[in-house]
């Protein structure tokens, strides 16, 4: 069976064509990118037409190189960014730009909806307890999609008046392909309005109304393996695939990247490093830590959950440091001469070269610490005003130390996640490490050293989301019966990194200081970043 798997991320769409059989073989892939618009007031938006353009462009690129295979595609599936807000009319036409999971402008709506009256842990006691009881979670982050919905309701009533469905990113694309509007179970949970006490998947309608959400805007809930429908003929023609191709619900990145990483058994832990980053551990029960902003997200495998701690900017930090420390508008510089003309350094990309440079710096970056909060932070503390910083720069500090400090700072945050998770669940002693960050052996070794745990990577770690999407489609098609068994058989580690005991002391010292930096600077962050006037900034990877 041939499956088209769309990995819809923050910065682009990676489209992969897989052939099932004794193994899951990647036939071909294509990538296209798009913009993210950042507003000074905390807004973060994307144009759904850009998602669709990238879907079409990458699919047509595969059709040009593999026309016979594209003509035989039987299944289409998705892995996508989560907790976006796409409001559409009855035909599926989006009514405004999509609000990204990074959007944090709904401070007023969160305050009015959750932070008044008698409070527990800073939240309205009645709504907190009702949310925990009914959904096993609470919308405690300003970035949670319910507050985005209420922001539109208050600020753009004309949009809300025309709204028929509240969708997430892949659900918008599925609706465009099939004209059927649904939410996969994991996407439904990510709204934090899923009634976990209902015998069948259902919305917590009464709770939704108590916050001001219209339950009629919430679409039917289906499992990730559900066959939603076949392609509309005009869409099939646009993509260049058969109109008999079945579109499956797929899942969000929080649930499917672990599948593609081969971390599906209860207790398995994986770390992801893409544009965002996280640590996730599989459980067989719902768990929540409201103080640390961690909860279990429903998994693609029925009855399993992913205890999930997220960092909004992981790979984005390295992209930032590449752009502002390693490049300028003229060329690429890492010292006083142009390294791109140096034949001694023929690496696959600038990132490979930067990895080599980082490996030359001492563990601990000579005492420099970087905090990876470029767009606020969610876990283990929620603060939209938190920002990144380089701490402890001296006259001896150079670019090499700054570059290494960025990698170490993200790894410190992942260690913080891991230790916070262990207050509630048992994590695995060996972690699967996936995402673009896992392509660098230098980063893999730094992560193993900072965590003090063995780290495993898999082949093509940047494609694990699309692998997960393909596997759930194969389950839905009856090609695979058991998702956990299939992942353990098909997804094997290809490299192992063991912690170096010689680095333990310096990293323990740095990490102890790292954890104090937010607390010591919280008031300054608020004074500097609580409100900023100005226009939008378009972020792009093109």
Do residue 306 and residue 243 come from a single domain? Answer: no
**What's the CA gap between 104 and 45, in Å, rounded?**
11
Task: Check whether 329 has a pLDDT greater than 60.
Answer: no
Confidence band, pLDDT 50/70/90 cuts, at residue 360: confident
The pLDDT tens digits for 86-129 are 999 999 999 999 999 999 999 999 999 999 999 988 899 999 99
Do residue 428 and residue 331 come from a single domain? Answer: yes
Give the pLDDT of residue 333.
Answer: 46
Task: Check whether 3 has a pLDDT greater than 90.
Answer: yes
Confidence band, pLDDT 50/70/90 cuts, at residue 343: very low
80 occurs within a structural domain? yes
Confidence band, pLDDT 50/70/90 cuts, at residue 328: low
Total number of domains constituting the chain: 2
Do residue 436 and residue 360 come from a single domain? Answer: yes
Task: Check whether 364 has a pLDDT greater than 90.
Answer: yes
Task: Check whether 274 has a pLDDT greater than 60.
Answer: yes
- Beta-carbon contacts of 467 under 8 Å, excluding residues fewer than 6 positions away, are 5, 16, 18, 24, 259, 260, 460, 491
Do residue 215 and residue 277 come from a single domain? Answer: no
The helix/strand/coil state of 346 is coil
Give the pLDDT of residue 340.
Answer: 39
**What's the CA gap between 105 and 223, in Å, rounded?**
31
Task: Check whether 444 has a pLDDT greater than 50.
Answer: yes
Confidence band, pLDDT 50/70/90 cuts, at residue 276: confident
Mean pLDDT over 257-270 rounds to 94
Give the pLDDT of residue 110.
Answer: 95
Give the pLDDT of residue 335.
Answer: 47
Domain of 69, CATH number, reads: 3.30.420.40
530 occurs within a structural domain? no
Among 215, 248, 281, residue at a domain's last position: 248
Q: What is the CA radius of gyration of the chain?
A: 22
Percent of the chain with pLDDT over 90: 76
Mean pLDDT over 317-339 rounds to 62
276 occurs within a structural domain? yes
Mean pLDDT over 403-424 rounds to 96
Percent of the chain with pLDDT over 70: 93
**What's the CA gap between 331 and 338, in Å, rounded?**
7
254 occurs within a structural domain? no
**What's the CA gap between 449 and 411, in Å, rounded?**
9
| Weakest mean pLDDT among 53-67, 201-215, 354-368, 380-394 | 354-368
Confidence band, pLDDT 50/70/90 cuts, at residue 324: confident
**What's the CA gap between 218 and 193, in Å, rounded?**
9
Between vectors from CA 306 to CA 508 and to CA 190, what angle results, nearest 5°?
115
The helix/strand/coil state of 77 is strand
The answer to whether 298 touches 185, Cβ cutoff 8 Å, is yes
132 occurs within a structural domain? yes
Mean pLDDT over 447-469 rounds to 95
Do residue 103 and residue 241 come from a single domain? Answer: yes
Do residue 272 and residue 366 come from a single domain? Answer: yes
Give 124's strand partners: 119
**What's the CA gap between 339 and 290, in Å, rounded?**
48
Give the pLDDT of residue 473.
Answer: 96
Confidence band, pLDDT 50/70/90 cuts, at residue 300: confident
Give the pLDDT of residue 531.
Answer: 65
- HEC secondary structure over 290-331: CCCCEEEEECCCCCCEEEEEEECCCHHHHHHHHHHHHECCCC
Among 198, 220, 248, residue at a domain's last position: 248
Q: What is the pTM of this model?
A: 0.88
Among 248, 270, 290, residue at a domain's last position: 248
Confidence band, pLDDT 50/70/90 cuts, at residue 334: very low
Give the pLDDT of residue 337.
Answer: 44
Give the pLDDT of residue 392.
Answer: 97
445 occurs within a structural domain? yes
Do residue 213 and residue 303 come from a single domain? Answer: no
541 occurs within a structural domain? no
Confidence band, pLDDT 50/70/90 cuts, at residue 539: low
Domain containing residue 159: 1-248
Do residue 333 and residue 448 come from a single domain? Answer: yes
The answer to whether 146 touches 192, Cβ cutoff 8 Å, is yes
Do residue 206 and residue 275 come from a single domain? Answer: no
Task: Check whether 345 has a pLDDT greater than 60.
Answer: no
- Beta-carbon contacts of 260 under 8 Å, excluding residues fewer than 6 positions away, are 79, 434, 463, 464, 465, 466, 467, 468, 469, 471, 487, 491
The answer to whether 178 touches 245, Cβ cutoff 8 Å, is no
Do residue 454 and residue 334 come from a single domain? Answer: yes
Do residue 217 and residue 294 come from a single domain? Answer: no
Task: Check whether 341 has a pLDDT greater than 70.
Answer: no
Mean pLDDT over 365-373 rounds to 96
Do residue 366 and residue 486 come from a single domain? Answer: yes
The helix/strand/coil state of 276 is coil
| Weakest mean pLDDT among 219-223, 422-426, 446-450, 534-538 | 534-538
Task: Check whether 351 has a pLDDT greater than 70.
Answer: no
Q: State the burial class of residue 115 (Cβ atoms within 10 Å of its Cβ: 0-12, 13-18, 19+).
A: middle
Task: Check whether 336 has a pLDDT greater than 50.
Answer: no
Give the pLDDT of residue 23.
Answer: 85
């Amino acid at each position: 069976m041939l499956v088209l798997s769309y990995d819809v991320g923050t910065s682009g769409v990676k489209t992969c064509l897989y052939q099932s059989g004794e193994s899951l073989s990647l036939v071909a892939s294509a990538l296209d990118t798009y913009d993210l618009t950042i507003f000074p007031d905390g807004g973060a938006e994307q144009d759904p037409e850009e998602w669709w353009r990238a879907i079409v462009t990458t699919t047509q690129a595969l059709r040009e190189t593999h026309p016979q295979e594209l003509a035989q595609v039987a299944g289409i599936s998705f892995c996508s960014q989560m907790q976006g807000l796409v409001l559409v009319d009855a035909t599926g036409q989006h009514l405004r730009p999509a609000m990204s999971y990074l959007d944090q402008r709904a401070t007023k709506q969160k305050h009015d909806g959750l932070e008044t009256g008698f409070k527990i842990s800073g939240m309205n006691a009645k709504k907190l307890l009702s949310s925990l009881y009914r959904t096993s979670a609470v919308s405690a982050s300003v970035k949670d999609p319910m507050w985005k919905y209420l922001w539109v309701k208050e600020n753009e009533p004309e949009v809300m008046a025309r709204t028929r469905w509240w969708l997430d990113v892949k659900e918008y694309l599925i609706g465009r392909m099939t004209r059927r509007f649904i939410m996969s179970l994991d996407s439904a949970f990510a709204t934090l309005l899923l009634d976990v006490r209902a015998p069948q998947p259902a919305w917590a309608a009464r709770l939704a109304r108590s916050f001001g959400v219209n339950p009629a805007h919430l679409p039917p809930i289906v499992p990730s393996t559900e066959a939603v429908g076949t392609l509309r003929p005009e869409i099939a023609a646009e993509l260049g695939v058969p109109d008999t191709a079945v579109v499956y619900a797929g899942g969000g990145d929080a649930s499917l990247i672990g599948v593609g990483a081969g971390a599906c058994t209860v207790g398995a832990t994986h770390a992801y490093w893409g544009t965002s980053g996280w640590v996730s551990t599989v459980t067989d029960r719902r768990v929540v830590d409201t103080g640390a902003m961690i909860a279990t997200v429903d998994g693609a495998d029925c009855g399993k959950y992913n205890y999930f701690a997220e960092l909004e900017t992981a790979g984005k930090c390295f992209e930032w440091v590449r752009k502002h420390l390693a490049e300028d508008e003229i060329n690429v510089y890492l010292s006083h001469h142009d390294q791109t003309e140096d034949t001694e350094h023929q690496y696959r990309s600038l990132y490979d070269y930067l990895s080599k440079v980082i490996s030359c710096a001492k563990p601990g970056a000579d005492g420099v610490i970087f905090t990876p909060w470029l767009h606020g932070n969610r876990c283990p503390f929620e603060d939209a005003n938190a920002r990144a910083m380089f701490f402890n720069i001296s006259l001896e500090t150079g670019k090499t130390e700054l570059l290494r400090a960025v990698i170490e700072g993200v790894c410190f945050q992942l260690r913080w996640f891991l230790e916070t998770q262990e207050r509630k669940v048992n994590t695995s002693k060996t972690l699967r490490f996936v995402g673009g960050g896992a392509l660098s052996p230098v980063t893999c070794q730094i992560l193993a050293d900072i965590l003090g745990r063995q780290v495993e990577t898999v082949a093509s770690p940047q494609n694990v989301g699309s692998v997960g999407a393909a596997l759930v489609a194969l389950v839905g098609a009856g090609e695979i019966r058991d998702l956990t068994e299939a992942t353990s058989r098909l997804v094997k580690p290809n490299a192992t990194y063991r912690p170096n005991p010689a680095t333990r002391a310096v990293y323990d010292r740095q990490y102890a200081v790292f954890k104090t930096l937010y607390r010591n600077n919280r008031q300054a962050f608020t004074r500097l970043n609580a409100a900023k006037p100005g226009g939008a900034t378009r972020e792009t990877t093109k």
